[in-house]
Structure 1
Amino acid sequence: MTASRILNRKNKGFTFLNIIGLAIGMGAAMLILLWINFQWSIDRVYPKTHRLYVVGQQDVSTNNEIAVWFSTPKPMAAVMKAEIAGVENLSRLSGINGLLFSVGETKILSKVGSFVDSSFLQLFDLPLLAGNPSTALRDPSQVVLTEKLAISLFGTSDVLGKTVQLDSTQQLLVSGVLKEVPKSSRFTGYEYFLPWTLMEKMGYSDEHWGNSSVNLFVEMKEQANIAAAQAQLKNLIKRHSEVSTQSFLKPIKESYLYNTYKNGQQVGGRISMVKTFSYIAGFILLIACINFMNLSTAQSEKRAKEVGIRKVVGAPRFRLIGLFLRESLQLTAIAGLLALLLVMLFLPVFVGIVGQEVNIPYLDIRFWLLFVGFIVFTGLLAGSYPAFFLSSFNPIRVLKGRFQQLHSKFNPRKFLVVTQFCIAIVLIISTVAIRKQIQHAQDRDFGFTQDNLVYMMEVGDMKKNYPLIKHALLERGIAQSVTRMMSPLTERWSGWNGFTWAGKDPNEVIQINRQSADDQVVATAGFTLLQGRDLDLAKFPTDSMAAIINETAAKAMGFKDPLGKTFNDGNDQYHIIGVIKDFIQESPFEPIKPLVIEGANGFMNTYHIRFNPKLSTEEALAKTEQVFKEYNSAYPFQYQFVDEAYAFKFMETQRTGTLASLFAGLTIFISCLGLFGLAAFMAESRIKEIGIRKVLGASVFSVTRMLSKEFLLLVSLACLIAFPIAYWIMDQYLAHFSYRITLSWDIFLLAGAGAILISMLTVSFQSIKAALANPVDSLRNE
């Protein structure tokens, strides 16, 4: 059977639906598989990936649970190199942003960069356009730039040995130029790397074992005994300090996907999402194949006599099976090419949804081999049932005109439709539940006023000129209030379990988040003050050693009347002057943790400004920019709205919801094509019955109801099967959120009603068409 036979005018309707259904299903599966391939490749692109590890820490936290994190104290690197057997090399990484790079009149406020040890480039073998990786980061006067930043500063990438000014204090020699870092590397987006020795020279380093603030990467020797190294590393920090933290090695190739821990145990992470969408890809492809099967077998009456004649002239069944599989492969090849075209067309939209640079590797021969294999696999899967079904016809019964159509109460074709809609309903319920979970978190009281509030990182002369900047903003009516803080309101930069206070059980471990602010933090942030007062250095100079705590911290500390109580943060003692209502600093899907906001004695490098509501946003920003040009003229004015930063917390979950909605919609669409095919098949198989019923006086409505009734039962059965499956899946998904919705009956009712409505609209076209047909045409051959 040739392609021209498949595509003849008589079959063009079914052929078109076959190709479209397969193409959409294959295209959706390809998009997901491209995304999965990218996810799987992250941090697996380095030549030494199999020998690279990141150092993690764990310690007892609140409620005696074990917390896990992947930052280490700065002095740990040297000790680890000396004491742990099997260590080939290692490098620390301390991220930094907001540095000003200047070349002549060209000034660029950098984004993300880091201080690293001199072995960093050798560890990861990042591609250098120029420079020696073994010496490029040895001297504190050196810097390695990306090609993009080099061109922005100098107009060319040929900059080795040229000088660049860092802020207003350092003159650095360009010792290396990096090519574009692979998108699947954790270092993609980094613009520069500075020597660790420069960090020490600038006074940013420390030797405190209790300050876990840098990433530590380790290259182990080829034959290293990892188990023995883990045992040596476990209590390394305890051997050199009074800190009880335990350490461990984690393969860098697992750090991105396996990133979630519960009570010290790895319990999944992004790998769960990868697995989920791999299942979705498989289900979408399966539904497209089921659609193909139904549409192919719907033409059984037309192909029955052809099969009968071939069998009479001696064609064995295996040849007929091969014939139908070949037809399936031809159709699948066409659908595969169309699917690739659809992927190319919609890839930019998909990239915008997932927020990652997913590409089609056109130059990779493995991609094309997999693409051909994908077509063959899909063609065999989609064509298997029609091939065995059509080749099983009895030639004598067929040629005598007594071919028995399959319209029994239940048959494989109906089973396939139930399977299709069961999957589709599960996806619909999942989509609705995810959307409700996102809305549930967004409706949560975030505990502060986001309107007219911006923050900016302290750079250049901002620290020196802070009193002048603050006075200008207030005096000119630009701002209602201004404060400096340790970190943006929506981020946690510090916290530990070493706080002490009177009456604290020395054996109890309580993890408390740490923030700091200099003045008017309640007014600026818009917190709700439950007790006490705001920080006010003008009236109370001792407020530099005062603190405001949230209500969760008051409960954790056991203070019924916290005002006037004191607590110790290391050698510093703070007195509590206020209690604020809990606000969301970290994940909106998790419980709020205890928080202390320490006075001006603490570290601060973030401005928060609440604009005067009488000014428009544009006017307030323009006047604020003018103030910063006066007092920090070397740096461009950059800011971030707090409400935008807060909204970013929902981005990953929203992407999941968007993808689920997209693929649920595609699943429904493809399922409806299959239902359309089965409706056509059923109408064709009962065409003479319909004709007789109409001759005997049956109405169009009664005939339509008769044909639609069976499909209503099929979709209802799919609902009954899908509901418990969807409940279990979403209950497992929501278990990852402490602040979560309850799966209520309305979610299932909405999904079921939607599936039934869509299926009835799909079937009604064929049912009404069959009911309106002239019975004379159907009974002519009787």
Structure 2
Amino acid sequence: MIRNYLKIAWRNIVKSKGYAAINIGGLATGMAVALLIGLWIWDEVTYDRHNQHYDRIAQVFQNQDFGGKIDTWQTMPHPTGETLRRNYPDDFKHVVMASWDFYKELTYGDKRLKKLGKYVEPDGPLLMDLQMLRGSRDALKDVSSILLSETGARSYFGDADPVGKVIRFSEREMYTVQGVYRDIPRNSAFANLQFLAPFDAYIDQMGWVRSMVNPWGNNAFLLYVQIADHADMSSVSEKIKMVRNDHLRPEERRLKPRLFLHPMKMWRLQTAFENGVVADGGLKYVWLFGLIGLFVLMLACINFMNLSTARSEKRAREVGIRKAIGSVRAQLVKQFFSESLLVVMLAFVLSLLLVQLALPLFNSITAKQMHIPWLSPMLWLAGLSISFFTALVAGSYPAFYLSSFQPVKVLKGTFRAGRYAAVPRQAMLVLQFTISLILIIGTIVVFRQIDYARQRPVGYNPDGLLSIEMDSRHMQGRFDALEAELLATGAVTGVTQASAPATQVWSTNGNIHWRGKDPSLAVDFPTTTVRANYGRVMGWKFAQGRDFSKDFASDSAALIVNEAAVKYMGLEHAVGETIRWNDMPFTIVGVISDVIAESPYAPVRPSMYRMDPNDVSLVNLRLHPGLSSKESVKKIGEVFGKFFPERLFDYQFVDQEYGRKFESEQRIGTLAGAFAILAVFICCLGLFGMASFMAERRTKEIGVRKVMGASVVNLWAMLSKDFLVLVFMGILLSMPLAYFFMHNWLQGYQYRSDMSWWIFAVAGIGVLLITLLTVSFQSVKAALMNPVKSLRAE
């Protein structure tokens, strides 16, 4: 019986090739979108799950109270790790202090390459669940050892055994390779780490850590833990919350620091915090794209249902004859479900091909390395489940509708679909337009928000600005000579230094006091150390006062603050005011426009800059605007090669670094735009099929009207107006829904664009034009048909 059902289904597909192509093509596109989104969601929700201790690993975070506003930090003071090990030995299996991820020059023989790595305490490889190819995970107990990733080791040693070889970081840092670990999967918080070095060696390099008078007052390191097998995450988190508070000075306790554990399962999708409470973060995008995939698949199913029911009258006689010779309704339902299933399975096979073709582009947009897991049972289980679900959804209405025809009326020729038979099809078309318009409006709003933030004044001139990260030890006593030689090349117009990039905040300070400050007020100001003339080179815009200068010896005790700081401190005339920073007096000599060093979507925090040539590392250069950037960089590289032959010349353009702040929103907007285009494409396929059917159904009517004198324009308008009415209904429904969703989305940004009327107008007019183009092809074709052919049977 099933074989018979499938044979008849195949014959019907072959008989109506055009409609079958539209059905299969639309379904395949919808299923391909659903599969792509499914792969993306799977990659997101399986982050770090390769670690067998996934549910017992956490990072230690802390909340601090700044005048009623709770900020959440992931940095910890240096003694925190040892304190947890000593005071809570039964609650933790591993406690690992670590540095941030950073690039380091590793040299072996004549090979000098930059590698991404991290300094960690000895238990780090155990906590990360590294899979060792050579050596032992305990190797970092030796302060002179290093572990390399498989890729990192191969780049230096090829297929040779690297264990026992000595890798040089700098003149003072030499490490012996004691192990090679398998590359960490890309969907991991520790992805791309190509080396792990001992944390104690890192601390030894940073003399200020050992010499700190108050080590509990400085938050500079990361802390990871694996709780004991019998321990409960929330209970341990509650136990440790006061650890730091017990060691702070009385004035520092105003911040009320509270430590807590942030589980590994939340690292990827729940990284944002709002007033001390974890927020959705990336989880909202998982839900968003999950809904988009569902909606796009729904659009494809609607196309299938609409075309199947629209052509019901052509199959009415078939149903009547089958019922007359004894077929019961259940058999007819099975027949139509078989046809749906065959169409869906063909679409599923085609969708896999489309996904395979689209994956390279999709990976480049999402910055992932996803692939179709052909050998995974989950793929086929999910694919077949989607196929059966789609067949059930797409074939349900046609199956029950077609099987309900009465054979007597059908065979007597008195069957008519009825005046309300088209209402479900029209409702589904309106739903299609509504969903498509919401996606289009959402895409426009996302890109407009990105552009709005891009146009925000950054407080300096990023064009032609070059940043080079240098070790401050290498620069001591050499900067003046380096500056002179760089200026002599003519490639640059200014050279300066700072302790942090212009696009990031590397240090904050809370021990700041000014005239009139509330003694109970806790603050946290971003603070940066710079050289003289930093503002001139960066292109700062001064609202008051002047830049740091070598001509003023007193500038060693001077400050430059931003306008946000002046407003926050309530200073009417800031220049000349005295600020106490770490119990030392500083005089404000300048006020600058707010510099965006953090999120371009958030207000700029009150910030301060001071001059200290001994506490700077990054070199900033302003390229000569009249010369080629390529030629200028070449000259700069030659000078750096002369002064620092042991180092790679590595630089960053500041405008490109600033542009990376928009990557996440840009990626979301691009994906949403692509899916919106596919949604419109699926709608157009359905419209094309429906327009073809309507024109075919009204062939004789069109012929009569032409004979009676109707023009092509009259006929085109007659055939198009029904679809335009449905589009208008979709526009009316989509506008309030789109406004509601996108208005709420924009509320997540403190610096945001508005919802202008033209966004809705552009989306609505665009869909109207696309509908007209799609429908007009069939309408004009039908209107131009020779009435002699259409009326020949009469």
TM-score under structure 2 length normalisation: 0.94
Q: Does 1:33 align with 2:38?
A: yes
Residue 115 of structure 1 is matched in structure 2 by 119
Which amino acid in the other structure matches residue 115 of structure 1? Answer: Y
Q: Does 1:170 align with 2:173?
A: yes
The 3-state SS of whatever aligns with 2:190 is coil
The alpha-carbon deviation at position 753 of structure 1 amounts to 0.9
Matches within 5 A, 1:66-465: 66-84=70-88, 86-95=91-100, 97-108=102-113, 110-133=114-137, 135-156=138-159, 158-203=161-206, 205-206=209-210, 208-242=215-249, 243=252, 244-406=256-418, 408=420, 411-459=423-471, 461-463=474-476, 465=478
1:491 to 504, 507, 511: 504
The 3-state SS of whatever aligns with 2:16 is helix
- Give deviations 1:262-303, integer Å, cap 9, x for gaps: 111223111011110100000000001111112222322321
2:561 to 549, 567, 570: 549
Distance, in Å, in 2 between the alignment partners of 1:91 and 1:118 is 8
The alpha-carbon deviation at position 485 of structure 1 amounts to 0.6
1:593 to 600, 605, 617: 605
1:745 to 757, 762, 767: 757
How many residues align? The count is 778
Distance, in Å, in 1 between the alignment partners of 2:101 and 2:126 is 21
The 3-state SS of whatever aligns with 1:752 is helix
Distance, in Å, in 2 between the alignment partners of 1:625 and 1:381 is 64
- Give deviations 1:195-238, integer Å, cap 9, x for gaps: 11212332364562122222211111222133332222111111
Q: Does 1:521 align with 2:534?
A: yes
Root-mean-square deviation (Å): 2.0
Does the 8 Å contact 1:157/1:177 carry over to 2?
no
The alpha-carbon deviation at position 488 of structure 1 amounts to 0.8
The 3-state SS of whatever aligns with 2:197 is strand
The alpha-carbon deviation at position 74 of structure 1 amounts to 1.6
Matches within 5 A, 1:39-78: 39-61=44-66, 64-78=68-82
The alpha-carbon deviation at position 359 of structure 1 amounts to 2.2
The 3-state SS of whatever aligns with 1:213 is coil
The 3-state SS of whatever aligns with 2:349 is helix
Distance, in Å, in 2 between the alignment partners of 1:680 and 1:476 is 71
Q: Does 1:666 align with 2:678?
A: yes
Q: Which moved more, 1:361-370 or 1:727-736?
A: 361-370
Distance, in Å, in 1 between the alignment partners of 2:342 and 2:397 is 16
- Give deviations 1:19-64, integer Å, cap 9, x for gaps: 1111111111111111111111112321000111111111123x63
Q: Does 1:502 align with 2:515?
A: yes
Distance, in Å, in 1 between the alignment partners of 2:371 and 2:477 is 47
The alpha-carbon deviation at position 422 of structure 1 amounts to 0.4
Matches within 5 A, 1:663-742: 663-742=675-754
Distance, in Å, in 1 between the alignment partners of 2:476 and 2:728 is 67
Structure 1, unpaired ranges of 5+:
none
- Give deviations 1:676-706, integer Å, cap 9, x for gaps: 2222333344444444444444333323222
The alpha-carbon deviation at position 151 of structure 1 amounts to 1.7
Does the 8 Å contact 1:486/1:517 carry over to 2?
yes
The alpha-carbon deviation at position 379 of structure 1 amounts to 1.9
Distance, in Å, in 2 between the alignment partners of 1:571 and 1:497 is 11
**458 and 678 in structure 1: CA distance in 2 versus 1, 3 angstrom threshold:** same
- Give deviations 1:101-139, integer Å, cap 9, x for gaps: 22222222x232111010011112122111211x21101
The 3-state SS of whatever aligns with 2:565 is helix
Distance, in Å, in 2 between the alignment partners of 1:701 and 1:716 is 21
Does the 8 Å contact 1:545/1:573 carry over to 2?
yes
**703 and 96 in structure 1: CA distance in 2 versus 1, 3 angstrom threshold:** closer
The alpha-carbon deviation at position 605 of structure 1 amounts to 1.5
**780 and 484 in structure 1: CA distance in 2 versus 1, 3 angstrom threshold:** same
The alpha-carbon deviation at position 629 of structure 1 amounts to 0.9
The 3-state SS of whatever aligns with 2:490 is coil
Q: Which moved more, 1:258-267 or 1:694-703?
A: 694-703
Which amino acid in the other structure matches residue 198 of structure 1? Answer: A
The 3-state SS of whatever aligns with 2:177 is strand
Q: Which moved more, 1:595-604 or 1:217-226?
A: 595-604
Distance, in Å, in 1 between the alignment partners of 2:402 and 2:788 is 29
- Give deviations 1:161-205, integer Å, cap 9, x for gaps: 222222111221111111111111111111110111212332364
The alpha-carbon deviation at position 458 of structure 1 amounts to 0.5
Which amino acid in the other structure matches residue 241 of structure 2? Answer: K
The alpha-carbon deviation at position 8 of structure 1 amounts to 5.4
Does the 8 Å contact 2:476/2:614 carry over to 1?
no
Which amino acid in the other structure matches residue 53 of structure 2? Answer: K
Does the 8 Å contact 1:532/1:563 carry over to 2?
yes
The alpha-carbon deviation at position 253 of structure 1 amounts to 0.9
The alpha-carbon deviation at position 550 of structure 1 amounts to 0.7
2:660 to 648, 652, 660: 648
Does the 8 Å contact 1:543/1:600 carry over to 2?
no
Which amino acid in the other structure matches residue 536 of structure 1? Answer: S
Does the 8 Å contact 2:106/2:115 carry over to 1?
no
Distance, in Å, in 1 between the alignment partners of 2:696 and 2:507 is 71
The alpha-carbon deviation at position 777 of structure 1 amounts to 5.0
The alpha-carbon deviation at position 98 of structure 1 amounts to 4.2
Distance, in Å, in 1 between the alignment partners of 2:328 and 2:466 is 78
Distance, in Å, in 2 between the alignment partners of 1:606 and 1:79 is 34
Does the 8 Å contact 1:478/1:612 carry over to 2?
yes
Distance, in Å, in 2 between the alignment partners of 1:81 and 1:557 is 41
**198 and 15 in structure 1: CA distance in 2 versus 1, 3 angstrom threshold:** same
Does the 8 Å contact 2:491/2:636 carry over to 1?
yes
TM-score under structure 1 length normalisation: 0.96
Structure 2, unpaired ranges of 5+:
none
